[in-house]
Amino acid sequence: MIKKFLSLEWKQFKRSAAFQQKIAVKIVLGLFALLIIAELIGGGIATYFILEDVFPEDDPFIIVNNYLIYWFLLEMLYRYLLQQLPVVNIKPLMVLPISRKTVINFLIGKSVLSLFNFIPLFFYVPFTIVLLVKGYGYSALAWFAGMLLITCAINFINFLVNKNSTFFGFIAALLAVMITLWYTNIFDATPYIGSGLHALYTTPYLLVVPLLAVILLYVLIFQFLDKNFYLDGVVRKRVKEVEAADLSFLNKFGKLAPFLKNDLKMIWRNKRPKQVLFLSFLFLFYGIIFFSNSVYENQVWIKPFAAVFVTGGFLMTFGQNVPSWDSEYYKLMMSQNIRYKTYLESKWLLMVVFTIISAILSIPYVYFGMDILLVILAGALFNIGLNTYLNLLGGVFNKTVINLNERNKAFSNTQAFNASQFLIAIPKMGLPILFFFVPYLIMDSWMYGVAGLAVSGLLGLMLKNPILSFIEKQYQKEKYKAIAAYSDK
């Protein structure tokens, strides 16, 4: 039966719209994945020797164990945002004479084979090999086994708290508090946590602790899925009361008003857009990492990069998923007498408004100097004048369905990470550095670099109509492919 499930999974993948993406996209993503793998392998090999050179009086192995807690917390966060949990097409299987236990075990087993569980291996394997070469003995293999069990436990935790915003907020807050306390020298929890991880090496039989945790989490997941493995629970509709909001002030935008009202109601009433809005707010604090750290003080190129992120949170969370936010009623929308350009302009205006709000909220960065505030405001202009268009252009190839009413259950998770987001991120991150750095190098002046970044955004604003017209033509070419992809649920 497991073999049959694997066959069905392969057919579902091969026949889906995602499999029909252009070969060039797959090649670029493959190269990007190879680059990440190479960096992790290189990091696994070099970390020990770098720490040995920088901290000659300390054991590099202990240092790594001390700070692995930050990696575990970050892993929980990026799994929450990116990991697509395995979802068997459960409804047809519920009415077939197939053991419930078999289906659930396959579902859990498939989650273990997720790419997110293999990513840490590209660091742990070479690092463990270095430990063996350095004479740490075969007890290093016990530590390696412990890391695998902890990775598996994190995977199961993500399964249980599937898209639970409270859990995400708790982990994000915990990470922020730990970093703040460590950075301000108030309290450093890493040695205490690190000693527990190091104990897996010094006392290998303690492996039973993460092993029992994995078994317990497996049992909890099995019970959770078994409890919800009923057809009526899948098809039953939920009735939810919503509060009406007075958005009549948007009527002054004419033809754009219906789209703007629809987007604001969508953000207010649905869980997934709310999560994205909260995440975009966190981008405002991104600059603190670079502007307050003396390590980046002389690295001029990092300033425009950080500035674009500070005011571009909404662009990089909500904007990159246009038009997938409308995927559930895209066919209905395309059957109406609506110009694509009107639809695109409404999305553009929404991104512009939120970027302006972010720019206003970033004014406290003047604490780090007027030059920092100016580069942030120039980054806001770049986001408005160029990054908004890049998001809309990336939406031409964005054919991933987003379930706005996603519930905190594994069977309802249809959110996937889109390939075009990787590709469109390259110019979004690279162009601001280019537009800042070229005039900065030529004129040897910070203000000329800021001016170059700001002028690039202003030129984009001046060319708004021809750029939107060009993007509109691309959407028209992909219209029926998009409709077909959004129908493939």
Q: What is the DSSP letter of 229?
A: -
Question: Which helix (H) or strand (E) element contains residue 479?
Answer: helix 479-487
Same domain, 418 and 485: yes
Pair (298, 403) in one structural domain = yes
CA distance 4 to 106: 11
- How many angstroms separate the most distant Cα atoms in the chain? 75
Domain boundary among 236, 269, 302: 236
pLDDT of res. 88: 56
One-letter amino acid of 265: K
Cα dist from 404 to 162, 268, 275, 401, 471, whole Å: 15, 11, 11, 9, 25
Q: Same structural domain for residues 207 and 307? A: no
The answer to whether the beta carbons of residues 31 and 38 sit under 8 Å apart is: no
Cα–Cα distance for residue pair 312/355, rounded to 1 Å = 6
3: amino acid identity, one letter: K
Q: Which residues contact 161 (CB under 8 A, 6 or more apart)?
A: 80, 167, 408
Q: Are residues 222 and 356 in the same domain?
A: no
Same domain as 432, residue 376: yes
Residue whose tokens read 């929980």: 76
Task: Report the candidate in 422, 421, 351, 419 with the shortest Cα–Cα distance to residue 389.
Answer: 351
Q: Judge if 151 and 218 occupy the same domain.
A: yes
Same-domain status, 365 and 255: yes
The structure tokens listed for 294 are 């003396």
Same domain, 356 and 276: yes
Is residue 319 situated within a structural domain? Answer: yes
pLDDT of residue 221: 87
Q: Write down the pLDDT at residue 262.
A: 80
Is residue 481 assigned to a domain? yes
Q: Domain boundary at 207, 236, 265, which?
A: 236
pLDDT in the model for residue 27: 66
H or E stretch at 70: helix 60-82
pLDDT at 215: 94
Q: Write out the chain's pLDDT in tens, 489 residues.
A: 666 666 766 666 566 555 555 555 556 656 767 888 888 899 889 999 999 888 888 899 999 999 999 999 888 887 877 776 666 556 666 667 777 788 788 888 888 887 788 888 999 999 999 999 999 988 999 999 999 999 999 988 888 877 566 777 788 788 888 888 887 788 888 888 889 899 999 998 999 999 999 999 999 988 888 887 765 554 444 445 545 555 666 767 777 877 888 888 888 777 777 777 877 888 888 788 777 776 666 777 788 888 888 888 888 888 888 888 888 788 877 777 778 888 888 889 889 989 999 999 989 888 888 888 898 999 999 999 998 998 888 888 777 777 776 544 333 343 444 555 667 777 888 888 888 888 888 888 888 888 988 999 999 999 999 999 999 898 888 888 888 877 765
pLDDT of residue 141: 94
| Whether residues 294 and 316 fall in one domain | yes
Please say whether the beta carbons of 412 and 403 come within 8 A: yes
CA distance 344 to 472: 8
Cis peptide before 323 (omega within 30 of 0): yes
Of 214, 236, 258, which closes a domain?
A: 236
| DSSP H or E segment with residue 423 | helix 419-443
Residue 213's pLDDT is 93
114-125 tens-digit pLDDT: 778 888 899 999
pLDDT at 412 (0 to 100): 38
What amino acid occupies position 271? K
H-type alpha helices, 312-339: 313-317, 330-334
- Same domain? For 220 and 264 the reply is no
Q: Residue with structure tokens 């409890």? A: 227
Residue 166 shares a structural domain with residue 286: no
Q: Quick check: is 4 in a domain?
A: no
Q: Distance of CA 363 to CAs 201, 281, 372, 395, Å? A: 49, 14, 10, 31
CB 401 within 8 A of CB 388: no
Look at residue 290 and tell me if it is in a domain: yes
- Residue 360 forms part of a structural domain: yes
Q: Evaluate whether residue 126 is within a structural domain.
A: yes
In a domain, 7, yes or no: no
User: Residue 411: its pLDDT value, please?
Assistant: 39
3 lies in some domain: no
**Residue 189 token pair:** 């929890």
Question: Tokens for 358?
Answer: 């972010």
pLDDT tens-digit readout, 210-240: 999 999 999 998 888 888 776 555 444 444 5
Residue 414 confidence (pLDDT): 38
Task: Give the closest residue to 91 by CA, choosing from 108, 103, 109.
Answer: 103
Residue 346: domain span:
250-489
Query: Is residue 330 within 8 Å of 482, Cβ to Cβ?
Result: yes
Domain count, the chain: 2
Give yes or no: residues 320 and 411 share one domain.
Answer: yes
Contact (Cβ atoms closer than 8 angstroms) between residue 86 and residue 411? no
| 8 Å CB contact between 165 and 273 | no
> Distance between CA 325 and CA 343 in Å, rounded?
13
DSSP annotation of 186:
S
